[in-house]
């Protein structure tokens, strides 16, 4: 960083954590320390000629809030710097990002391949929405490379996947699936919400597009909804995804962009602390007599532990806890907690726990629940920023009383 460009600091030589603090910053002539919040829907021009010029040179100047906003652009550029993306666009929610990333590139007659283990709304987009528009949806067991190989032995336009998945914590072999997908002609869209940009870098394994629910760890403090789409190739982002977003309008509000921009400054610190705490909690639960099984990427007992070590630098803050008892035991445990809050949100600084079978996944049929391993005794825990020992003690007491 050089002193002379304090309004537009160049962060290219900085380490990742520093990029989270300074990346994307564009100071106004007031030289504010904290990034400005441009809470405006439109922009004015000094003359008719200036307006004409702004529209003729698309992208060089802000013209309307649905297309671009200076605060939102700072957020997009900061995340793009950190992730190593050529292009980024923020959206109003994570689902708007999934929808935009997929539907912008698909049309009738195309095939999309995805694992069965997906966040419920992601599953709905592939299973229900795609076929409405003549797009064939093919589901595979995401952990089975031969299933991917078979599904991708025919041409496909897109592969969409989560790794680790919500809430199954299934891990997909990014390098192998990206390779198969590219041979089939598919663009690979990775929902990296559970891993976060801190613990997994999908572009380095061949992904073309990465999306986030910024509602989760990027805000990380339960304040707002948001999402973002990142493309490795700037041209793909600008030519395929951007027109779709610009004309359909899933725009992030400047205020929410400002919250997310500030959330990014502490992202690495929070995620690393929460990930370390989650590992501690997972180790405690794994030996608990009332617990049948704990799924956590960093535990040696995770079925794809070797793959986790290959593509993730930490286990994340999410755990799946399978209790020996069923629904009653799960409910008693939730009701016995004093500090850990019952909530279906995740990635928050507060530890949150939910019973997926009766909340996030309540609309699935019994058959679908069984195949996605949404069992009656399953709890999904999002480990927060409290002292890990307090989380362990709260769970220990609630389990004992359940």
Ligand X SMILES: *Cc1c(COP(=O)(O)O)cnc(C)c1O
- The site for ligand X (CB under 6 A) is made up of 93-95, 98, 119, 121-122, 162, 166, 191, 193-194, 213, 215-216, 225, 227
Q: How far apart are CA 39 and CA 69, in angstroms?
A: 9
Confirm if 84 and 237 have CB atoms less than 8 A apart. Answer: no
User: How many other CB atoms are there within 10 angstroms of residue 364's CB atom?
Assistant: 17
Whole-number Å distance between alpha carbons of 271 and 392: 18
Q: Of 245 and 399, which CB lies nearer to ligand X in the complex structure? A: 245
Q: Which is nearer to ligand X, 69 or 93 (CB)?
A: 93
Map residue 262 onto helix, strand or coil. helix
- What minimum distance in Å lies between the beta carbon of 303 and ligand X? 19
For the bound state, the minimum distance from the C-beta of residue 155 to ligand X, rounded and expressed in Å, comes to 26
Cβ proximity to ligand X, 216 vs 270, nearer residue: 216
Question: Between 95 and 172, whose beta carbon lies closer to ligand X?
Answer: 95
What is the Cα–Cα distance from 221 to 218, expressed in whole angstroms? 8
To the nearest whole angstrom, how small is the minimum distance from the Cβ of residue 395 to ligand X? 22
Residue 52: CB minimum distance to ligand X, A: 38
Cα four-point dihedral sign 92, 94, 100, 103: negative
CB of 9 to ligand X, least distance (A): 29
Q: How far is the CB of 212 from ligand X (least distance, A)?
A: 8
- Closest-by-Cβ residue to ligand X is 94
Dist. CA 15–CA 17, nearest whole Å: 6
Nearer to ligand X, 191 or 268 (CB): 191
| Residue 371, CA distances (Å) to 116, 263, 328 in order | 8, 36, 21
Choice between 83 and 191, CB closer to ligand X: 191
Distance CA 38, CA 253 (A): 10
Contact in structure between 23 and 82 (CB atoms under 8 Å): yes
């Amino acid at each position: 960083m050089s002193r002379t460009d304090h309004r537009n600091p160049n962060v290219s030589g900085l380490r990742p954590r520093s990029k989270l603090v300074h990346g994307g910053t564009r100071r106004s002539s007031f030289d504010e320390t904290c990034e400005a919040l441009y809470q405006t829907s439109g922009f004015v021009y000094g003359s008719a000629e200036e307006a004409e010029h702004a529209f003729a040179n698309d992208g060089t100047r802000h013209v309307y809030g649905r297309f671009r906003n200076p605060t939102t652009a700072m957020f997009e550029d900061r995340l793009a710097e950190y992730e190593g993306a050529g292009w980024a666009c923020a959206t109003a929610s994570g689902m708007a990002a999934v929808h935009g990333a997929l539907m912008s590139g698909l049309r009738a007659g195309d095939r999309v391949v995805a694992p069965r283990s997906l966040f419920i709304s992601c599953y709905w987009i592939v299973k229900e929405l795609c076929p409405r528009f003549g797009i064939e949806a093919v589901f595979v067991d995401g952990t089975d490379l031969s299933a991917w190989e078979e599904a991708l032995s025919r041409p496909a336009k897109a592969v969409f996947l989560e790794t680790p998945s919500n809430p199954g914590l299934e891990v997909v072999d990014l390098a192998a699936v990206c390779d198969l997908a590219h041979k089939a002609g598919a663009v690979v869209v990775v929902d990296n919400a559970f891993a976060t940009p801190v613990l997994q870098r999908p572009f380095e394994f061949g992904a073309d597009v990465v999306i986030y629910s910024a509602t989760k760890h990027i805000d990380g403090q339960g304040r707002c909804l948001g999402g973002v789409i990142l493309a490795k190739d700037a041209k793909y982002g600008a030519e395929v995804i951007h027109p779709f977003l610009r004309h359909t309008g899933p725009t992030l509000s400047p205020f929410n962009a400002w919250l997310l921009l500030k959330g990014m400054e502490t992202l690495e610190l929070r995620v690393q602390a929460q990930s370390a705490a989650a590992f501690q909690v997972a180790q405690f639960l794994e030996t608990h007599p009332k617990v049948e099984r704990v799924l956590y990427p960093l535990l040696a007992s995770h079925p794809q532990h070797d793959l986790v070590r290959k593509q993730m630098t930490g286990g994340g803050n999410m755990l799946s806890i399978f209790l020996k008892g069923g629904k009653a035991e799960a409910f008693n445990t939730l009701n016995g907690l004093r500090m850990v809050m019952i909530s279906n949100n995740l990635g928050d600084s507060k530890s949150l726990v939910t019973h997926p079978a009766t909340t996030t996944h309540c609309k699935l049929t019994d058959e679908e629940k069984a195949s996605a391993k949404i069992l009656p005794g399953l709890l999904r825990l999002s480990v927060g920023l409290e002292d890990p020992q307090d989380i362990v003690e709260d769970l220990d007491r609630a389990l004992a009383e359940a």
